[in-house]
Structure formats: structure tokens, C-alpha cells
Structure 1
Amino acid sequence: MQKNKGFILLESLVALLMLSGILLLLSGLIQHAHKMEQVLSGYHQLEWEIFLLQLDNELHEVKYIGTSQTEISTEIESKGKMVPLVIKKVNNRIIKRQSGGNQPLLMGVNQFVCQEKNNGVDFVVTFTDGKKKEGTWIFE
């Protein structure tokens, strides 16, 4: 008797079943990664909008002094005298520096670039994951 050196039908079915299971798992992983990317993108947008609202609130009653490429300089009245208030990037954060104290406003920042235009300051924030957001603060 001769032995066949090919696959039998049962072995072929098992191999196809394993292949389809692997492809199904890969498909699920790709869909999950896409959903996670959408969630993180929504988180960045929410964090950015909160930052813009907080920045507008912090700079509501200040006197504008000037802008360098990396910071916004203002003054605010505190206890009857004018004290400096600076918005700048320090250690992957945008902070508000006033009266020797620091308050973080935005985390995960790789770059903060400011430019004065007309009656406002345009700024571009690049996050550590490479995403960029732009904003404008209008001063009176």
C-alpha cells in the first residue's frame, strides 16, 4: 500500500478554521485601535477647549505688556499694586506664573509659539503626540 503525502480534508478544514480565527482577531484589534484613536482625539479637543476657556478667564482683567516667541507677558493688580503675570511653557506644560507661584494650565505640551497680531496674540501649541492646535487671545 502507498501512503499519500498530501493533506486530508479534516486537516485542511482545521487549518482554515485557525486562519479565519486569526484574521477575526486582527480585525477586532484594528477596530479597537481606531476607536481608541477617536477617543483620544476627543479628549485632546475637550482639554484644548477647557484650556482656552481657562486662559481667557485668567487673562480677563490684565494689562497686556508684550509677547515673545514663547511667552505672553501681562500685569494684574493685586493688593493695590501691579504684579507681573506670565503665560509660558515649562517642562511640557503651559503655566501661569504670578507672584512667584506657578499654576499649570495645559499638560503634555511639546512646543508653545506665540505671535502678536493686531489686538491679539496668536499661539500654536504642539502636543507631545504631534497634534497641533491654534488659538487667539484678544486683548483690549
Structure 2
Amino acid sequence: MIGSKNGFTFLEMLIVLLIVLLITSLLPLLLDARLFTYENVNGFHRIEWEIFVQQLKRELNESKQWKSNGTTLYLEKFTGDQVSFDLYRSSIRRQVNGTGNETALQFVENVTYTLTNHGIFLHVRATDGKTYEAFISRLF
């Protein structure tokens, strides 16, 4: 055959390069399978703690006043709703106007809320014995 050339064209090289880059970009995800596992299934987890603190910050900023009896936090929203956070069995539950049973944090042994003029000092002891503390302040 005259004019026949053996080898790859530029387009074929680009396709091969694209496939190689795609495989190498997915390789770390395949090798590091622990990214998709939940480390502590049967206990208190730090990520849940951070989400709970963020939720309390949001709730506090949406409230016109707050009070506590030490173990239960009561927030009065600008809308008139009464939101409470209390220890129920081994979870902190959130209720609106005394109804509902939304779990805000699990595997809790004890919780105390200390009120200040500018926020709330939160102290939680998990069922594994570790203690977690946070100060939640208002933005305004």
C-alpha cells in the first residue's frame, strides 16, 4: 500500500491521554476507601457536635430572648415560636412549641447551659466520658 502510515494520529493520542488522566484522577478515591466509612457508628462523633453547635448559633441569632434551667435551653423566636433543647434519654432533642422530637445530638450523658449577656456556654459530656464545651454568641 502506498501512502499508508503506521502509528497513532494526534486525535488518538489525545483520547489515550484523556483516558489515562481520568483513571489516575480516580485512583486515590479507589485506594482510600476509608473516606466513605463512618468512623464511630456506635458513639459520639465530633462532626455531629460541630453541626449541633452551628445549629445552636443559628437558633440563637433567630431568637429575641433565651433562658435555661441548667439542663434545658428555651429560646423565644422573633416569630413567637418557643424552641427548646433538652436531654431526652441519651440524646439532645429539639422541640418547637413543646411538640416534635427532633434529635439534635446523640450519645449524650449530660448537658448544661450557662447563660451570659452575650451568649450561651454549652457543656456536654458524651456517653464515652469525654467532655465538649463551646461558647455560642449572638451576632447582634
Q: Normalization by structure 1: what TM-score?
A: 0.61
* Correspondence for 1:84 among 58, 82, 95: 82
Q: CA deviation at 1:77?
A: 4.3
Change (3 A) 1:114 1:107: same
Secondary structure at 2:45's aligned position in 1?
A: helix
Q: Structure 2 stretches of 5 or more lacking a match? A: 1-38
Q: Structure 1 stretches of 5 or more lacking a match? A: 1-38
Q: Normalization by structure 2: what TM-score?
A: 0.61
Query: What residue is the counterpart of 1:12 in the other structure?
Result: none
Aligned-CA RMSD value: 1.9
Larger radius of gyration: 1
* Correspondence for 1:97 among 84, 87, 95: 95
More helix by share: 1
**Larger RCO: Structure 1 or Structure 2 (Cα < 8 Å, ≥ 6 residues apart)?**
2
Matched residue count: 97
Q: Distance in 2 between matches of 1:58 and 1:91?
A: 22
Query: What residue is the counterpart of 1:132 in the other structure?
Result: 131
Q: CA deviation at 1:125?
A: 0.3
Moved over 6 A (4+): none
Write out per-residue CA displacement over residues 4-44 of structure 1, whole angstroms, 9 at most, x where no aligned residue.
xxxxxxxxxxxxxxxxxxxxxxxxxxxxxxxxxxx55xx73
Q: Distance in 1 between matches of 2:78 and 2:115?
A: 23
Q: Distance in 2 between matches of 1:56 and 1:132?
A: 19
